[in-house]
Amino acid sequence: MNELRIGIGVHSPITALLAEEAGADVLWLGSLEMSTSRGVPDREVLEPHEIAGIIRSVRAATSLPIYVDADTGRGSDELAVLATKLYEEAGADAICVEDNLFPKRNSLDDRFGGRALMDPEAFAGRISAMVAARRSIRVIARTEALVAGHGVDAAVDRLRRYADAGADALFAQANRASAGQLLPVVERIAPIRPMVLAPTVLPGTDAEAFAAHGPVTVIFANVVMRSLVAQTSRVLHEVVASRRLDAVSTELAGVERLFELAERSRALDEEPPPARTEASRTTRPAPPVPSAARPAPRPAADTATRAVAESVPGRERARALMTEAAFDYCAGGAGDEAGMRRNTERLDALTLTPRVLRDVSERSTGTELFGKRLAAPLLVTPMGLQALCHPEAERATAAAARSLDLGFTLSMFASRTVEEVAEAAPDCWWQQVYLLGERAISWSMVRRAEQAGASALVCTVDVPLVGRRTRDARNGFRRFDAAPPAIVRDPVFTDVLAHRRRRTPSLTEEGLLAEVFPDPAVSWRDLAELRSRTRLPLVVKGVLHPEDAVRAVDAGADAIQVSTHGGRQSDRHVAAVDALPHVVAAVGDRVPVLFDSGVRNGTHIASALALGARAVLAGRPVLWGLAANGQEGAAAVLRSLVEELDHTMALLGTPSVTDLGRELVSIQEQA
């Protein structure tokens, strides 16, 4: 009996449900279907986290196997492995990669002449790496040898190499020029490995012809999007021309049908849809790739922590999921980035001297700041434009902190509004502000934060000018183009813009922001005015000199945050941890001293606490978790930091964070 399975290319939960109703055995999340549905070229433009989001939404709506088109794996073995893990976690059953060069060109796109392929041995190595990294997801190896004009023998040789590398199924693609060569490849390959085909160029060929030689899944890869474009165009032209719906009423689904499909396209946190009953299935056997219809369960919290913190370095995972320019903006520092590196290197240089034979069978990381209880002395430091990492942006990181009873600080240049983030934020959340050249905008942000329930304000004082960031200059990166900050929707900001446009009609939101930030004229007098405008506790952030710390306390600061802005302002500033003990000594017990910059693990947190910090704020590691898996990824990073802090406390003989004292830390002098 022929072993034929039919797959349909889809791009959303509703198109997946329609394919399931039609009797499809497999859902194909093809790159052309997904890309065109989002209005971008089929050139590996969609980011992996976007594709993972599509996988999750489709998985929530159906139990059918999901095959995902991963194109070239973004051109490297490492990124292909990361995609394998990411898509498996999202719920995919199979991942397909091709031996095209990055960025891939669609096999039907003949506008630019010939194409080159990867060396087959190198691509076989990529397949081996993906197979070694997966838990249960199947790996499909696709060759473009026919498309590139290499002929049947070359295509067969490549596919056999990929089978030897561990591919679970093999995919041969053809274009218009090589359509007649597809069946001879199937005749020689299908007996040794299940095959996947997408015969877009063979509209008159019955799929049964391929299955005569072995198990074959035939994918009708882009029929949904092509039919949507054709039918929608015809209906819209008719509606616009006739000014009425009568002429097309028989072509339109009833709104009740939309309601029904939307109800079935359920959210992720609901129960998954039941598997189709035998009566609803066709007589075809289950697809050969993969063997199970349902994905592996999503990892539990501790597994998720390990996935981010151990098996896949968070930073490299984020790099795989973000655009190069966005990643460099988040990862980069000022100048030659020596200042950024120095922050972490100096933390790494600290050594700790443990106390022994102290009962640490019960430990507490809990603390309190400004009357708010925290499960650990750890907060998320203010970081703007988090939509560069994940669509949920600051809402996700705030919710992650809330889930662990930790603190969160919202940047004035956040992607999400104060009000949006406040809904998801923990009890201890702070609003960061800059003193802008148009002070009324700053005061508006203060008022909105107070009304939204912020428990403190953080005034950043170390940006008289924005640091010279080499990576951004190299990439031509414009923050405003990539992810406009929500501050441009502040009512006072819009009023100021309208007023200034009377003089300069061409002034844009970006232009106004550039005019008012930063303001090199900010002085201690302005800090005093901010102090007079709010009753909230005031943290002054960006202090490195002990005399400035004392002056800030005299001006009404309720806490000092020792920080080098993560090394983003200067490549020659003192490392934050080297400034910390001097600031602590200068302010004494008058106010708490907080710390950020260079923190990468729980030992760094313990070291800063031992040097006198009351709490520590983490930055980039949280961003990498956010990019990797949204709220869950950010929470996994924060959880890991707390677990590492607790572990370090046990090894040091300190049952409470208040037991972490200066006598435990040795500071090595810089060479």
Q: Which residues are part of the catalytic machinery?
A: 565
Q: Alpha-carbon distance 194 to 217, whole Å?
A: 8
Among residues 544, 639, 629, 527, the alpha carbon closest in space to that of 584 is found at 544
At residue 72, φ and ψ (nearest 5 deg) are -90, 0
At residue 278, φ and ψ (nearest 5 deg) are -60, -35
For residue 330 the two structure tokens come to 């988040």
Residue type, 104: K
For residue 231 the two structure tokens come to 């039918």
C-beta of residue 541 within 8 angstroms of C-beta of residue 563:
yes
Q: Which 3 state secondary structure label does DSSP give 444?
A: helix
Among residues 166, 36, 145, the alpha carbon closest in space to that of 95 is found at 166
From residue 576, give the alpha-carbon distance in Å to each of 488, 551, 563, 582: 32, 19, 5, 10
Q: Which 3 state secondary structure label does DSSP give 217?
A: strand
C-beta of residue 57 within 8 angstroms of C-beta of residue 10:
no
Q: Alpha-carbon distance 85 to 95, whole Å?
A: 10
For residue 173 the two structure tokens come to 């693609």
- Strands (E) across 281-391 are located at 351-352, 367-369, 372-374, 378-380
Residue 664: alpha-carbon gap to chain centroid:
37
Helix (H) or strand (E) holding 543, with range, is strand 538-543
Pairing label, strands 367-369, 372-374: antiparallel
Among residues 96, 150, 147, the alpha carbon closest in space to that of 123 is found at 96
Q: Alpha-carbon distance 655 to 360, whole Å?
A: 5
Q: Which 3 state secondary structure label does DSSP give 194?
A: coil
CB crowding 20-59: b at 16 or more within 10 Å, else e: beeebbbbbbbbbbbbbbeeeebebebbbbbbbbbbbbbb
